[in-house]
């Protein structure tokens, strides 16, 4: 597969990512920073999709758009069985407001560049290769993220996705119609032989290790809980310190308890457990009133179910203790559970072998965030590769991956796709 490397064209990849960065480009004070706002259904989003569709057709791929706007281009190599399940690769084109230029587009255009390199190198393949861009991965505009991949894998219905609305009350179905991407085709990961997604790491593990490529072992599971702490609102001046039931001082202890539980769990299980109390709503939220009620949103993640359960039970224990020690009333509602998703051993092995072929150093690591690969893993074998993020910045104009690192990760992706599309390899 070494001969393939010479055909991965870093400049061609860069041109596609830079072209996409121009759609919704954000002015930043820093001349070295590049930001973009590419909201699903916006004019910038239509232009990014049009550009992709043109590039796919130009490379000889047949393009399909499904009812939620997922775009897939399929290439049937000479000598491959057109009926064989394709190997798919891609990511997303949408961004968070003022997000970075690599989060999403790198994975889409690395997949396309891999196809172009495979074509140019005239590598013999047994299976078609599909390049895919999923709709509304970020959930910045419609819904809570992974919208296109969850519809494609059947976790969410087309109707439910179309009914999602943005802040202005426009539905996703309307938005897709307006930009011309409410298609009638089918993008169905259960018909794929496997899926490989290249994404920026959004952390500093690769940078610290000096590795060019990360091969994700597991996408962590995630639990969201809503907590209420009820005390008694009262006058901040007229109520003695020993005569208060302050909901916020109790909630503050809860915040610390969740943090401690995550640190201890990660330590004891040698896992990636994290726990965050990311939102607090204090009422009545007035400087001269003792807080009577606090609502807290808790986010708990780990690569093992056991780690998540430990932090959840520590959070419950904390509330029980606060009821005893501080006289508050509490409620605990665990309303979202996503199990940890292990990545495919077969595709991880293909990625590691491709990295070795490219003499690129790769390391195994867990993913910090969810990605489309997490949803696709419900339907077929999935793998997730990371390219280094300078300083770990993402969802920010500070997000940066060196062009040479983009190209090297794409070489690894191309090698892994080639191996996956070759039967008996």
In angstroms, the CA 348 to CA 346 distance is 6
**Applying CB under 5 A, which of residues 103, 113, 136, 257 lies at the interface with Co ion?**
103
CB distance 70 to 133 below 8 Å: yes
Cα–chain center distance at 332: 27
Shortest Cβ distance from residue 371 to Co ion (Å)? Answer: 6
| Cβ-contact 307, 265 below 8 angstroms | yes
Residue in the shown chain whose Cβ atom is closest to Co ion: 103
Least separation in angstroms between residue 360's CB and Co ion is: 22
Q: Is 107 in the site for Co ion (CB under 5 A)?
A: no
Shortest reach from residue 336's CB to Co ion, in Å: 19
Shorter beta-carbon distance to Co ion: residue 156 or 371: 371
Interacting residue with Co ion among 104, 145, 194, 370 (CB under 5 A): 104
Q: Considering the complex, what minimum distance in angstroms separates the CB of residue 56 from Co ion?
A: 20
Query: Within 205-234, which residues bind Co ion (CB under 5 A)?
Result: none
Shortest spacing between CB 104 and Co ion, in angstroms: 5
Nearer to Co ion by Cβ, of 139 and 185: the residue is: 139
Closer of 104 and 368 to Co ion (Cβ): 104
Candidates 58-66, 97-105, 330-338, 408-416: pick the segment binding Co ion (CB under 5 A): 97-105
Nearer to Co ion, 151 or 251 (CB): 151
Closest CA to 236 of 292, 309, 300, 165: 292
Closest to Co ion by CB, 119 or 204: 204
Query: Is residue 399 close enough to count as binding Co ion by CB under 5 A?
Result: no
Size of the site for Co ion (CB under 5 A): 2
Q: Rounded CA gap, 297 and 302, in Å?
A: 17
The footprint of Co ion (CB under 5 A) covers 103-104
């Amino acid at each position: 597969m070494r001969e393939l490397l010479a055909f991965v064209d870093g400049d061609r990849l860069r041109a596609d990512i830079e072209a996409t960065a121009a759609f919704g480009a954000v002015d930043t004070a820093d001349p070295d920073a590049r930001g973009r706002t590419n909201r699903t259904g916006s004019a910038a989003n239509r232009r990014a999709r049009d550009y992709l569709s043109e590039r796919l057709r130009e490379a000889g791929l047949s393009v399909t758009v499904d009812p939620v706007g997922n775009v897939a281009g399929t290439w049937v190599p000479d000598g491959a069985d057109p009926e064989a399940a394709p190997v798919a690769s891609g990511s997303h084109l949408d961004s968070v407001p003022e997000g970075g230029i690599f989060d999403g587009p790198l994975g889409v255009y690395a997949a396309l560049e891999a196809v172009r390199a495979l074509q140019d190198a005239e590598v013999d393949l047994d299976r078609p290769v599909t390049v895919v861009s999923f709709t509304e991965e970020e959930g910045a505009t419609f819904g809570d993220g992974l919208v296109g991949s969850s519809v494609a894998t059947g976790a969410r219905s087309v109707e439910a996705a179309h009914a999602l609305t943005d802040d202005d009350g426009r539905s996703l179905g309307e938005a897709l119609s307006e930009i011309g991407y409410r298609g009638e085709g089918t993008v169905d990961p259960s018909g794929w032989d496997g899926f490989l997604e290249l994404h920026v790491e959004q952390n500093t593990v690769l940078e610290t290790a000096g590795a060019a490529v990360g091969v994700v072992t597991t996408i962590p599971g995630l639990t969201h809980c809503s907590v209420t702490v009820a005390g008694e609102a009262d006058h901040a001046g007229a109520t003695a310190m020993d005569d208060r039931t302050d909901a916020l001082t109790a909630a503050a202890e809860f915040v610390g308890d969740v943090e401690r539980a995550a640190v201890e769990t990660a330590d004891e299980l040698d896992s990636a457990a994290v726990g965050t109390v990311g939102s607090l709503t204090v009422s009545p939220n007035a400087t001269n009133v003792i807080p009577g009620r606090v609502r807290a949103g808790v986010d708990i993640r780990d690569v093992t179910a056991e780690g998540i359960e430990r932090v959840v039970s520590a959070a419950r224990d904390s509330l029980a203790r606060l009821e005893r020690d501080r006289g508050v009333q509490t409620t605990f509602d665990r309303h979202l559970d996503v199990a940890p998703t292990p990545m495919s051993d077969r595709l991880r092995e293909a990625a590691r072998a491709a990295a070795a072929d490219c003499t690129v150093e790769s390391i195994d690591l867990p993913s910090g965030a969810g990605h489309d690969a997490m949803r696709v893993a419900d339907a077929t074998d999935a793998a997730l590769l990371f390219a280094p993020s300078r300083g770990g910045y993402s969802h920010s104009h500070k997000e940066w991956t060196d062009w040479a690192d983009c190209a090297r990760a794409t070489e690894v992706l191309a090698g892994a796709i080639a191996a996956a599309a070759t039967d008996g390899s």
